[in-house]
Amino acid sequence: MADIVARYVGNKRVEAENPRSGGRLTFDQGKPDGLGESYDPVEGLLGAFAGCTLTMIAYAAEANGADAKGATAECDCTMAERPHRIASITLTIRMPQAEYTDSQKKVIQKYADACPVGLALSDKIDKKVEILWP
């Protein structure tokens, strides 16, 4: 069974579904009025990168006696013109107020850098993951 099944429905709109969970997402390049909530494909990619990285950080924190609850992520990208593509992505993570040891910080950064979505991005994309500690 596929992880995602997507279908182009016209008018620059793609509907995707996870058959296992039933989760649905609509990617709408043109974002025409009246079609409900939708996401630009680049926004979807950036959201997936931020969400995956936060999840990896949560795993690392919990396994090392810390808590990542309340961590936030901001993801920005720069587009190249020719060929039109994502040129760079900067992901800034703000960790919640807590005392983190140097060892915890090192492991959390290692997990953030090991995000499967980030690793799947092209090597032509300049990626930066910055963690801001309280």
Around Cβ 90, how many Cβ atoms within 10 Å? 14
Domain residue spans of the chain: 1-39, 41-132
Question: Which CATH class name applies to 41-132?
Answer: alpha beta
Task: Return the closest-CA partner of residue 129 out of 79, 80, 76, 55.
Answer: 76
Q: What is the pLDDT of residue 75?
A: 92
Side-chain-facing half-sphere of 128: CA atoms under 13 Å = 11
Averaged over successive runs of 10 residues, the pLDDT of the chain (134 residues) comes to 82 82 78 55 84 94 95 93 92 95 97 96 95 96
DSSP summary character for residue 73 = E
Around Cβ 20, how many Cβ atoms within 10 Å? 10
Around Cβ 28, how many Cβ atoms within 10 Å? 20
One-letter amino acid at 19 equals P
Q: What is the pLDDT of residue 97?
A: 95
